[in-house]
Structure 1
Amino acid sequence: MDTLSYKTISANKTNVDKRWLLVDAEGEALGRLSSKVANLLRGKHKPNFTPHVDCGDNVVIINAEKVTLSGNKWTDKEYLRYTGYPGGQRSTTARELLDKNPASIVERAVKGMLPKNRLGADLFRNLKVYAGTEHGQEAQKPTAVNLKDLK
C-alpha cells in the first residue's frame, strides 16, 4: 500500500474558499438559527474543515427582529451584564432587548456558540446582523441559504 497517496489536506488562509451567505431569520427559532449559523461561520459544512483555521463563510442575517422564542422566554430569559462597580449587575429581558436592539439578540446567541478564543473572535467578525431586510453587503452578492436544507 502506497501511503504517500493518502495525504491529509489541511486548510490554511491561502487555500480557503470563503463565500458570502444570506440568511433570513424571519420565523426562525433563535437557538436553531444560531447553531446553524455558527456551523456556517466555523466552516464545519465544508469537506476541508480544519479546526484551527478560519475556513468558514461570511454570513449576513436579515430580519433579526422577526426571530421567535418558544414558551415564556420573551419575559423569563434574562441577559446579564456587569458595570464593574459593586452592586452593578444589570439584567434585561429578551423582550426589552428586542425593542432596544434586535440584532444583539442574534449576535449574542451566535457568539455563545463559537469557540472562546482568538479564533472565535475572528469568526464573529464574519457575521453581520441587520434588523430589517436592507443590508450593507449588496456589493458582495451574498447567496441566499435556506436553513431547512442544512443539518
Structure 2
Amino acid sequence: MKQTTLIAAKDIKKNWYIVDAAGQNVGRLSTEVARILRGKHKVDFTPHMNNGDHVIIINAEKVLFTGKKESDKTYYHHSMHPGGLRRRTVAVQRELDATKILERSIRLMLPKNVQGRNQFRALHVFVGENHPYAAQKPEVLTFVKKGDNK
C-alpha cells in the first residue's frame, strides 16, 4: 500500500512571482493568486502546512470589473457602534486605495484561520509598476484571460 509523503517545514522552498493586474478581471485574477498563496499549484501541497509562494501584484489600479460592478458593487464595514455602517462603491475605493480591492478579494478566498493570515502576508499589492522586491528576482506569471484561448 502506498503512503502519502508529507513535506517537512525545513524542506519548503518559497518562490516569488510577479503579476501584472492591468486589464485583468478581479475575480479570475484573485482565484489564481489565492491558489498560489496556498501552495495548491505545487505537487507537494500539504493542507496543514504553509508552503505557498510570495506574489507581487503591480498595476492594481488598472484591474477590471465586469458589467456595472464599478458603480453598483458596494463594500460594507461596520464600526460596531450604532449608526456605524460605512459604505463604499468600487469607484470610491479605487480613488482612496486601489490595492484594497484586490487584497480584500484575495483575503476572502484564503482560509479563515492562522494559516490563512500567514498566507495572506505573502501577498504584496502595489499601485503602478514600481515595487521594492526586485532583489528577490520574481518570475513573471501570466494568466490566460477568458476568451483569449482561441
Q: TM-score range by the shorter chain?
A: over 0.9
Q: What is the one-letter code of the residue matched to 1:51?
A: P
Are 1:74 and 2:70 counterparts?
A: yes
Which residue among 121, 133, 136 is the counterpart of 2:117? 121
What is the aligned partner in structure 2 of residue 140 from structure 1? 136
Name the residue aligned to 1:91: 87
Q: Does 1:100 align with 2:96?
A: yes
Residue 10 (structure 2) aligned to one of 10, 14, 19: 14
Amino acid at match of 2:12: V
Q: Give the TM-score of the pair, scaled to structure 1.
A: 0.93
- Residue deviations 1:11-61, cap 9 Å, x none? 232111210000110100000000000000001010000011111100000
Which runs of 5 or more residues in structure 1 are unaligned? Answer: none
Hey, what's the Cα distance between the residues in 1 that align with 2:110 and 2:143?
18
Q: Which runs of 5+ in 2 are unaligned?
A: 146-150
Secondary structure (helix, strand or coil) at the match of 2:10 reads: coil
Partner residue in 1 for 2:51: 55
1:85 match: secondary structure: coil
> Shift of the alpha carbon at 1:87?
1.1
Q: Which residue of 2 aligns with 1:112?
A: 108
Q: Runs of at least 4 residues of structure 1 off by over 2 A?
A: none
RMSD of the alignment, in Å? 1.1
1:8 and 1:17 map into 2 onto residues whose CA distance is 19
Percent identical among aligned pairs is 43
SS in 1 for 2:57: strand
Name the aligned partner's letter for residue 46 of structure 2: T
Letter in 1 for 2:76: L
